Amino acid sequence: MSEKKNSGKKDNKKSEEESVASSEKESVKNKLNNSEISILSSFRIVWLKELKAFFYSPTAYVILSGFVLLTSWLFFDTFWLRNEASSRPLFDALPKIFLLITPLITMKMWADEYASGTQDQLFSLPVSLGVLTTAKLAACITLIAIALVMTLPYPFMAEYYGNLDWGPVIGGYTGALLLGSAYAAIGIFISSLTRTQIEAAFITLFAAGIFYFIGESFFVDKISSQGTLYLLSQIGLGARFRSIARGVFDIRDLVYYLSFTALFIVLNVSVLRYRKWM
Domain presence at residue 11: no
The amino acid sitting at 21 is: A
Low-confidence ranges of the chain (pLDDT < 70): 1-37, 78-85, 217-225, 278
DSSP collapsed to 3 states, 129-179: HHHHHHHHHHHHHHHHHHHHHCCCHHHHHHHHHCCCCHHHHHHHHHHHHHH
Domain presence at residue 142: yes
Distance, in Å, from the CA atom of 214 to the CA atom of 180, rounded to the nearest integer, reads: 17
DSSP per position, 173-215: HHHHHHHHHHHHHHHHHHHHH-SSHHHHHHHHHHHHHHHHHTT
Query: Residue 130 in contact with residue 265, Cβ under 8 Å?
Result: yes
Distance, in Å, from the CA atom of 206 to the CA atom of 152, rounded to the nearest integer, reads: 29
Q: Report the pLDDT value the prediction gives residue 9, as an integer from 0 to 100.
A: 47
Domain presence at residue 14: no
Domain presence at residue 19: no
Of 118, 139, 92, 114, nearest to 22 by C-alpha is: 118
Domain presence at residue 160: yes
Domain presence at residue 7: no
Domain presence at residue 262: yes
First vs last C-alpha separation in the chain? 51
Proportion of the chain above pLDDT 90, given as a percent: 43
What range defines the domain where residue 53 resides? 37-276
Query: Residue 200 in contact with residue 111, Cβ under 8 Å?
Result: yes
Domain presence at residue 2: no
Q: Report the pLDDT value the prediction gives residue 117, as an integer from 0 to 100.
A: 79
